[in-house]
Amino acid sequence: MKSNCRIIILAIAIMFVAVSCGGGNSVDAALAQIEKAMEKVEKNKTSMTEADWLALSEEIEQPLQVLNAALENNNVSGLKKIKISAVVLRYAALASEAAFHTVIQETNLVDSISKMQEIIGSEEMKEAMQELQKASEELQKLSN
């Protein structure tokens, strides 16, 4: 159970870092890979195991690095930055929903609520939220 929470936190943190940091020609391919991963989660969100999450995390690691580099190096237009942020945040939301479902299935409801409170209060989550705030500020600058 504890390792599931750590995997969830790690996946969310990676996604938020990818959004907040700043690719090249492979940005569209990376976006397509993330969207493909979203489809997998949507289809299997009620039955994903810890091994499935680890495999998915490895599968999206490289595309997230490509998107991160594109944002970091300012190699994409403002609209593409918004699309990258939207896709990554959508994936994070979908993965979070599926991960919470997995946690709830593996424990009773009281334990799940306790674990979610631990996750929400963790340093990793606080750092991820700070990164999300930075990404939001960046998007606001782009829209002005």
Task: Spell out the residues 6+ positions from residue 94 whose beta carbon is closer than 8 angstroms to its own.
Answer: 38, 41, 42, 45
pLDDT in tens, 77-129: 888 888 888 888 888 887 777 777 766 666 566 666 677 777 777 777 777 77
- Cβ atoms < 10 Å from Cβ of 66: 22
pTM here is 0.54
pLDDT in tens, 3-33: 665 666 655 656 555 544 444 468 999 999 9
pLDDT recorded at residue 20: 46
**What is the spatial distance between Cα 1 and Cα 84, in angstroms, rounded to a whole number?**
31
- Rounded to 5 degrees, φ, ψ at 77 are -70, 170
Look up residue 64 and give its amino acid: L
- Minimal CA–CA distance to 124: which of 8, 34, 1? 8
Place of tokens 């599968």: 59
Collapsed DSSP state (helix, strand, coil) of residue 73: coil
